[in-house]
Structure 1
Amino acid sequence: MKSTSLSVKENITFEEAIALTQEIMFAMEKGQLSTAEIELLIGDLVKSKNGARGFFVAYLTDSRTLADSPSPSIFRALESSPETVTELLVKNLAMCSAMVVHHQRNQDQETASQSETVRSRTTRLIKGVDIPSLKGEIEELYQSTTTGVGNYKQFLERWGYDDEQLKVIQQAIEPLLS
């Protein structure tokens, strides 16, 4: 296993983070990164909002199966930035769930299926990551979808989710509440 020349630059942009995540995943697939390197690179990426957003976009939507069974090093890397990671995982769960409905309405089953994949990958990360505040945030999102008030009220309103989309978001959350 050779050492990598990949690194996360300071003030990384969203686009650069997407590209770097794709490079990291390619190197992971080829067995070119040690678990320590994976943890360090992704940990560095998720330190910043742009880095974390780019990581999740690339990782969760990638056509390879790497994100279907994340390694312990991925979970540890995500746990290193609990605040940023928590916010993005919670919002991601809501957005990809609502997008399934949106794409189905447009008779776009292929894209709906991709959104379902992102939802299952996001759920797997939420279940596997050890971030104490995450459960509370998931409960907050659930409260906002059921009552129309709470910490995620503005987020849900900004995206204009309707009753059917809110119901699908609730259904995605319910298994995580137990």
Structure 2
Amino acid sequence: MNWHIPNDLSFEDALQLTRTLVDAMVNEQLKDSEIEEIVTTLVNSENGARGFFVIYLTSELSLADNPTQSVVNALKTSPNIVSELLVKNLAMSSAMSITHRRNDNEEQAQNSEQVAQRNCNLIRLANLEIINQKLEELKQTINNNQGSYQGFLEKWQYDEEQKQTIKKNIENI
């Protein structure tokens, strides 16, 4: 398969590329170095990184439960994009688990918790100082009802219970 990834990668293309990548990873059709190169290219743009995380973190496959070193290495190559997305994904999946439970959708709540867990795992494995800084900023924004993530929290209209769940997940890292 030709893994040429265009510089102007759309979100939709990133989703499709990541689906193909995940299938190839599961079927052991790629060397670790190839996986690292493809993921590095994907996370080098916001659309690519968003698409990668959407598919990788929500997959029904257990691939994201135990990320390979090649995936972790690739994530480290784009610390600014990756850190922002991992922090926001953690917040969103944590908050959505509460929303799904309120709507009596336990299966979706568990899926959101799984995504949050996978996010936490990637954050730990990447072990980037910028991620820790952003997690601290998010926690302080929740504590003080103001800060660099206030617009993000207001945009998604997270209530107090959701914010406390986000904070608890940050503290568990």
1:1-178 mapped onto 2 (5 Å cutoff):
4-176=1-173
Structure 1 residue identity aligned to 2:33: A
Superposition deviation, residue 5 in structure 1: 2.2
Runs of 4+ in 1 over 2 A off after TM superposition: 4-7
Superposition deviation, residue 82 in structure 1: 0.4
Residues 48-102 of structure 1: CA deviation (Å, up to 9, x unaligned): 0000000000000001000000000000000000000000000000000000000
Structure-2 separation of matches of 1:63 and 1:85? 22
Identity %: 44
Structure-1 separation of matches of 2:86 and 2:109? 19
Structure 1 unaligned residues grouped into runs of 5+:
none
Structure-2 separation of matches of 1:166 and 1:90? 13
Q: Is the 8 A contact 1:14 1:50 kept in 2?
A: yes
Q: Is the 8 A contact 1:6 1:24 kept in 2?
A: no
Which secondary structure state, in structure 1, belongs to the residue aligned with residue 115 of structure 2? helix
| Range with greater deviation from structure 2 (142-151 or 95-104) | 142-151
Structure 2 unaligned residues grouped into runs of 5+:
none
Which secondary structure state, in structure 2, belongs to the residue aligned with residue 63 of structure 1? coil
Superposition deviation, residue 150 in structure 1: 1.0
Which secondary structure state, in structure 2, belongs to the residue aligned with residue 8 of structure 1? coil
Structure-2 separation of matches of 1:35 and 1:7? 17
Which secondary structure state, in structure 1, belongs to the residue aligned with residue 9 of structure 2? coil
Structure 1 residue identity aligned to 2:7: E
How many residues of Structure 1 are paired with residues of Structure 2 in the alignment? 173
Superposition deviation, residue 43 in structure 1: 0.3
Superposition deviation, residue 131 in structure 1: 1.9
Structure-2 separation of matches of 1:52 and 1:109? 28
TM score, norm. by length of structure 1: 0.95
Structure-2 separation of matches of 1:169 and 1:132? 19
| Range with greater deviation from structure 2 (43-52 or 142-151) | 142-151
TM score, norm. by length of structure 2: 0.98
Structure 2 residue identity aligned to 1:99: M
Residues 91-125 of structure 1: CA deviation (Å, up to 9, x unaligned): 00000000000000000111111101100000000
Superposition deviation, residue 130 in structure 1: 3.2
| RMSD (CA atoms) | 0.8
